[in-house]
Structure 1
Amino acid sequence: MDFISPIIGWISPYVIDPIRARFRVLRKVRENIEELEKTAEKLDARRNDERKKLEELKKQEGVEESADANRWFNQANKAVSDTNSLRTEYDEQQRRGLCSNWSCLSRYQLSKRALKLKQNVDKLYEEDPKSGWTAASTSQKGMKLDTVSMEGQTTRETLKHEIIKGVLDDRYVVVGLHGMGGIGKTTLLRHVHEHFVKTKHFDSVIFTTVSATPDFDGIRKQIAKSLGFENCVDDNDVKERLSRAKMKFILILDDMWETIDLSEICIRAPTKENGCKILMASRLLPVIMRFVIRFTERDSLHTIRVDSLPSHEAWNLFVKKVGETLITSKPGIEALAKKVL
């Protein structure tokens, strides 16, 4: 009889236990479906909450639904739909009765599908929202601007890097360029704008021209477009969206003649805490000073003076613009050109 014990020991884990497990699944078909429904209800509520959050972020900050969000919502929709279908199938089998076509095999398969679906629903419910299920809008980073080449202008390249360094310095909220008209402030701002559009330091890079007679409606629309709010209904809609936007931005204000209030453009004031920055240019340093002290401390401002190009860089630029052939076409033109320069 000793040879029987090993056989029985083998039969139990490989034959009896699987059969016992299947009978447990079979007996608990109703319980398994009810547990599935409870979990699916929680997933459905979570799905609706996440959808509302996402739609609100789309409205406020111009974000887009990420690929991860799209996958999660599609899988959650399918899981909830499959749960409803399984319940309908169970109710239909119940109406047919035990003595009809609802065999033990059908009951077992239905219960097993409920268990498997519940595992999927649990997994989806526990999944963490990746960055709020959102992705930055492709138009949110910053608009493409035409930039004048600074090739051969070593002084300007050095100044550009000084400006970028000032913007990234946590001690400063505002970097202000000042210098005479036509000196090259706008060119520098556009190159810095291009730099930050290519980097990931800011969620949005905004460039707008203030001018001597500011068009605040136009400025607000330009800022809204840079933030991804391209479908605004009217100016009131623009103002509301700008005031509620929470993304990290750098606002570049060119050609400021008089100080303005940030409330005029409905954008939140940058601070050291929120990481937002302003880069601006004006002919007059006092304009920059008066603008800054309206919303932050004086030591949060870093000013940079833009001077004329050194004589050799100025000459190279002049020749490039006018054309070397013209300058050397007749005797005396080069000497006259240097006097003009």
Structure 2
Amino acid sequence: MGNCVSLDISCDQTLNHACGCLFGDGNYIHKMEANLKALEKAMQELEERRDDLLRRVVIEEDKGLQRLSQVQGWFSRVQCVGSQVNDLLEANSTEAKRLCLFSYCSKKCITSCNYGKKVLNMLKEVEGLLAKGVFEVVAEKVPVPKVEKKHIQTTVGLDSMVEKAWDRLMKDDKRTLGLYGMGGVGKTTLLACINNRFFQVVNGFDVVMWVVVSKDLQNEGVQEQILRRLCLDKEWKRETESERASRIKNILNRKKFILLLDDLWSEIYLNKVGVPPPTRENGSKLVFTTRSKEVCKDMEIDVMMEVVCLSKNEAWELFQQKVGDNPIKSHHDVLPLARKIAEKCCGLPLALCVTGKAMACKETVQE
């Protein structure tokens, strides 16, 4: 009679299977309405929990904290599920019209069965999100950024000096660099360019610290600026200078750091501040600006670099940028006057910028 496969399925099994589809848990059609009501209620509870949680998060974020990734992930899943639930609820009226035999069957059985199955699965997903939406902690301190980028206006003639300073600083045998030059020559801008270079290429450093020293600033002021970069808590404000130094040392001993000191007027003793000396072993670096070459010698640095005034052409280019085209082109006698004014600034960027801005609103030869 040929190869014949015998299916040994009893009548009882067939009947049980049929009854299960019509009356048991597998009847997605009959349970559709009940599951839809349960889904609608569960979704409402989920949205209420989302709103309560969001209020908590906003309060913490207003304190400067950052929401946890798991909290943000939960919000995202709730939003996604909410959209899917809305689609199912909108399709309910169409599916309800297809029901027959006291909602045990449908005019389109397969379609209604698939819809009912989606409703049940979505109900389970919403209930799962409700269970997971309980968070004791919703936000934490924002991690300290490795580098804080400095705003720099358009520069002229600094690119070569930045490259020169960067190349010297990045040599493995060089740990410290001193930038010296007269006031207004562009030392701070040069230091800011170096800072921003670290922003682009961190090179394995853990933190870059910018500290403005100035003439009368004491160790306490230097410590506060460093601690503000390293810690968000304010406990250190009640500590003594030696206690702050110990705190700074404990933190920086575990980091490969860059310390940028702007406007140094005299030797600063790093051990009193709490800064470990940069060495080949810790891989850290120190860069500072000063008006005095003697300060560079007192700090016993590896490399000294003088920041010089701009060349005649560079000075004229910077002056033109600050004045703008309109004043210079307003009268044929203005151009030679403008060149004479630029020359009197002797290539000093600060003088060129201040004078150029002052001339930007002048329109006549007399002015």
**Percent identity, aligned pairs only?**
30
For structure 1, the residue ranges without an aligned partner over 5 or more in a row are: 1-65, 68-136, 293-299
Classify 1:226/1:197 alpha carbon distance in 2 versus 1 (closer, same or farther; 3 Å).
farther
Query: 1:286 corresponds to which residue?
Result: 294
In the TM superposition, residue 232 of structure 1 has moved relative to its aligned partner by 3.2
Is 1:219 the counterpart of 2:222? The answer is yes
Query: 1:251 corresponds to which residue?
Result: 259
2: distance between equivalents of 1:219 and 1:158? Answer: 30
Q: Secondary structure at the residue paired with 2:158?
A: helix
Q: Deviations over 1:56-78 (max 9, x none)?
A: xxxxxxxxxx99xxxxxxxxxxx
Q: Secondary structure at the residue paired with 1:316?
A: helix
Query: 2:211 corresponds to which residue?
Result: 208
Is 1:198 the counterpart of 2:205? The answer is no
Question: Is the CA contact 2:149–2:195 (under 8 Å) kept in the aligned structure 1?
Answer: no
Task: Tell me how many residue pairs correspond in the alignment.
Answer: 198
Q: Deviations over 1:257-298 (max 9, x none)?
A: 111111342211111221111011111111111022xxxxxx
Question: Is the CA contact 1:179–1:185 (under 8 Å) kept in the aligned structure 2?
Answer: yes
Query: 1:165 corresponds to which residue?
Result: 167
For structure 2, the residue ranges without an aligned partner over 5 or more in a row are: 1-67, 70-141, 343-367
Is 1:301 the counterpart of 2:302? The answer is yes
Classify 1:148/1:216 alpha carbon distance in 2 versus 1 (closer, same or farther; 3 Å).
farther
Q: Deviations over 1:136-166 (max 9, x none)?
A: x74241223222222xx3x411110111111
In the TM superposition, residue 334 of structure 1 has moved relative to its aligned partner by 2.2
State the Cα RMSD in Å.
Answer: 2.4
1: distance between equivalents of 2:322 and 2:218? Answer: 32
In the TM superposition, residue 315 of structure 1 has moved relative to its aligned partner by 0.7
TM-score of the superposed pair, with normalisation by structure 1: 0.54
Question: Is the CA contact 1:232–1:238 (under 8 Å) kept in the aligned structure 2?
Answer: no
Question: Is the CA contact 1:252–1:279 (under 8 Å) kept in the aligned structure 2?
Answer: yes
Q: Which amino acid aligns with 1:148?
A: Q
2: distance between equivalents of 1:252 and 1:283? Answer: 15
Q: Which amino acid aligns with 1:186?
A: T
Query: 2:322 corresponds to which residue?
Result: 321
In the TM superposition, residue 254 of structure 1 has moved relative to its aligned partner by 0.9
| Structure 2 counterparts to residues 1-341 of structure 1, below 5 A | 138-150=143-155, 153=156, 155-201=157-203, 202-227=205-230, 229-235=231-237, 236=239, 238-245=244-251, 246=253, 247-292=255-300, 301-341=302-342
Question: Is the CA contact 1:257–1:283 (under 8 Å) kept in the aligned structure 2?
Answer: yes
Q: Secondary structure at the residue paired with 1:339?
A: helix
TM-score of the superposed pair, with normalisation by structure 2: 0.50
Question: Is the CA contact 1:166–1:302 (under 8 Å) kept in the aligned structure 2?
Answer: yes
Classify 1:277/1:184 alpha carbon distance in 2 versus 1 (closer, same or farther; 3 Å).
same
1: distance between equivalents of 2:233 and 2:257? Answer: 20
In the TM superposition, residue 179 of structure 1 has moved relative to its aligned partner by 1.1
- Larger RCO (alpha carbons 8 Å, 6+ apart): 1
In the TM superposition, residue 215 of structure 1 has moved relative to its aligned partner by 4.0
1: distance between equivalents of 2:218 and 2:324? Answer: 38
Classify 1:335/1:206 alpha carbon distance in 2 versus 1 (closer, same or farther; 3 Å).
same
Q: Which amino acid aligns with 1:196?
A: F
Classify 1:170/1:250 alpha carbon distance in 2 versus 1 (closer, same or farther; 3 Å).
same
Question: Is the CA contact 1:142–1:226 (under 8 Å) kept in the aligned structure 2?
Answer: no
